[in-house]
C-alpha cells in the first residue's frame, strides 16, 4: 500500500506545472530567507515550473510581498502573489452590493485590496458599513476590535451584516520567534459578539481558487509548513501538498496528523523537491520508506531499521496513518519524533 501520491523514482515536482508556496516558514522567517529556499525555488523556475505564492498574512500588499521576495533573490511579480485580502474580496463581492462601505479592521494590505475591489473603506461602525472585513496588521489593537464588535452586535438571523476574516492562523512566524496571529484577534471579536466569521484564507478554499485563477494552474503543487492551515487547505482545494520542516509543525505533529491534515510529501527543506521520493511499502505489519523500517506490534510502534531520519519519520507517519488508529493508541519511541530538522 502506498500512502499519498508518492511513486518510486518520482520527485514531488514530476507532472506539476505550477508550484504554489506559502511564505512564512517556507520561504522566509521575518525578513530573512530560510536555508535553501530561494535557490530551490529558482531552480524549479529554471526547470520550467511556474511559481506562485500564497500568504494568509493580510498586513502587506501583493506588491510589497513581491518586492520582499525579489530582494531575497527570487524573480517575482505582484501578480504571482495571492494574499488573503484578495481572497476576502473574492468572497465579499458575492455578499454585498458593488461600491458598498466596508468596516476594515487591518492594515495597508487589506485597505488596498478593499479599494481595488471598488469598495469604500471606513474605520467606524457609526458609518453603517455593509460588512466587516478583518485581517492581521501589527497595529491592530483594542480600538479597532471594539469597532468590529459594535458593527457586528446584531446577529445574522436578525439582519446583522456579514463578517469576513482574511484568515484565522493562531500564530505567525517572526525572526524573533512565534507571535500571535490573526486568529487571536478574530477570536477576541467572536468572544465579544458570539458570532463566527466567514474565512477567506487557508485552510478554506477561496484563497486557493484565487491562486489557481491568477496562475492558470492545471496541475499545481502546494508547499506549506502548517498542517492545520496549509495542508488542510490544499486537501480542501484538492491539490497535492508538501509539508516542509522549516516552519511551525514538527515531527510530533506530523505523526499525530488527522486525515484531513496529512501531506502527500514530507521534506526537510526545499532541496528535497528534486529528489526521487521513496515509495512507502507496507508488507504485513511492517512499513518501509527507503532503508527505514517500522513495525506495529500491538500497541508498540517499533523501529526495525533506522535509515535516514527523514525516511524514518515518513515511515512512522505512514504506519500510524494507515493503521486507522490515532497516535494515542501507540507507544511511540522517541527516536521517531526527535527533531534535528529545526533551522531556527
pLDDT at 6: 45
Quote the pLDDT of residue 102.
Answer: 98
| Cell numbers 520561504: residue | 27
- Separation of alpha carbons 22 and 81, rounded Å: 10
Q: Which of 238, 290, 235, 229 is closest to 263 using CA atoms?
A: 235
pLDDT at 190 over 70: yes
Q: Is 224 helix (H, G, I), strand (E, B) or coil?
A: strand
Q: How confident is the model at residue 1 (pLDDT cuts 50, 70, 90)?
A: very low
pLDDT at 8: 52
Q: Which fold has domain 85-199?
A: Rossmann fold (3.40.50)
Q: Label residue 208 left, alpha or beta by phi (over 0 means left) and psi (-120 to 50 means alpha).
A: alpha
pLDDT level of residue 172 (50, 70, 90 thresholds): confident
Question: Has residue 147 got a pLDDT over 50?
Answer: yes
Per-residue pLDDT of 202-220, as tens digits, reads: 999 999 999 999 999 999 9
> Cα dihedral sign for 24, 25, 27, 31?
positive
Around 302, how many Cα atoms within 13 Å sit in the side-chain half-sphere?
A: 9
Every domain of the chain and the residues it spans: 18-56+204-274, 85-199, 280-336
18-56+204-274 and 85-199 have identical folds: yes
- Name the least confident of 80-89, 100-109, 247-256, 334-343: 334-343
Q: Tell which phi-psi region holds residue 148, choosing left (phi > 0), alpha (psi between -120 and 50) or beta.
A: alpha
Q: Which candidate, 244, 298, 295, places its Cα nearest to that of 268?
A: 244
Name the CATH superfamily for 18-56+204-274.
HAD superfamily/HAD-like (3.40.50.1000)
Q: Is 48 exposed, middle or buried (0-12, 13-18, 19+ CB in 10 A)?
A: exposed
Q: Which residues are catalytic?
A: 22, 24
Nearest to 237 by CA among 202, 199, 208, 201: 208
Amino acid at each position: 500500500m502506498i500512502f499519498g501520491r508518492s511513486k518510486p523514482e518520482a520527485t514531488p515536482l514530476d507532472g506539476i506545472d505550477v508550484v504554489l508556496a506559502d511564505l512564512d516558514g517556507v520561504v522566509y522567517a521575518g525578513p530573512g530567507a530560510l536555508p535553501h529556499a530561494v535557490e530551490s525555488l529558482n531552480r524549479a523556475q529554471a526547470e520550467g515550473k511556474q511559481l506562485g505564492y500564497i500568504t494568509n498574512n493580510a498586513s502587506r500588499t501583493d506588491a510589497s510581498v513581491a518586492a520582499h521576495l525579489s530582494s531575497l533573490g527570487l524573480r517575482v511579480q505582484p501578480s504571482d502573489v495571492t494574499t488573503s485580502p484578495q481572497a476576502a474580496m473574492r468572497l465579499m463581492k458575492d455578499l454585498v452590493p458593488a461600491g458598498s462601505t466596508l468596516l476594515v479592521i487591518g492594515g495597508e494590505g487589506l485597505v488596498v485590496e478593499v479599494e481595488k475591489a471598488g469598495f469604500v473603506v471606513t474605520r467606524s461602525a457609526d458609518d453603517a458599513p455593509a460588512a466587516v472585513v478583518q485581517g492581521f496588521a501589527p497595529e491592530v489593537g483594542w480600538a479597532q476590535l471594539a469597532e468590529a464588535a459594535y458593527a457586528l452586535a446584531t446577529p445574522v438571523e436578525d439582519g446583522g451584516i456579514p463578517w469576513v476574516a482574511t484568515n484565522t492562523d493562531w500564530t505567525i512566524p517572526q525572526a524573533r520567534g512565534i507571535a500571535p496571529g490573526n486568529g487571536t484577534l478574530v477570536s477576541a471579536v467572536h468572544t465579544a459578539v458570539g458570532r463566527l466569521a466567514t474565512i477567506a484564507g487557508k485552510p478554506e478554499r477561496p484563497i486557493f481558487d484565487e491562486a489557481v485563477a491568477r496562475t492558470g494552474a492545471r496541475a499545481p503543487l502546494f508547499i506549506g509548513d502548517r498542517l492545520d492551515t496549509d495542508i488542510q487547505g490544499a486537501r480542501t482545494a484538492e491539490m497535492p501538498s508538501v509539508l516542509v520542516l522549516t516552519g511551525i509543525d514538527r515531527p510530533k505533529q506530523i505523526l499525530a496528523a488527522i486525515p484531513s491534515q496529512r501531506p502527500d510529501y514530507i521534506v526537510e527543506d526545499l532541496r528535497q523537491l528534486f529528489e526521487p521520493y521513496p515509495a512507502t511499502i507496507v508488507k504485513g505489519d511492517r512499513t518501509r520508506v527507503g532503508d527505514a523500517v517500522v513495525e506495529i506490534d500491538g500497541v508498540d510502534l517499533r523501529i526495525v531499521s533506522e535509515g535516514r531520519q527523514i525516511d524514518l519519520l515518513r515511515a512512522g507517519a505512514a504506519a500510524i496513518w494507515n493503521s486507522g488508529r490515532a497516535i494515542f493508541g501507540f507507544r511511540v519511541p522517541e527516536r521517531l519524533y526527535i527533531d534535528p530538522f529545526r533551522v531556527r
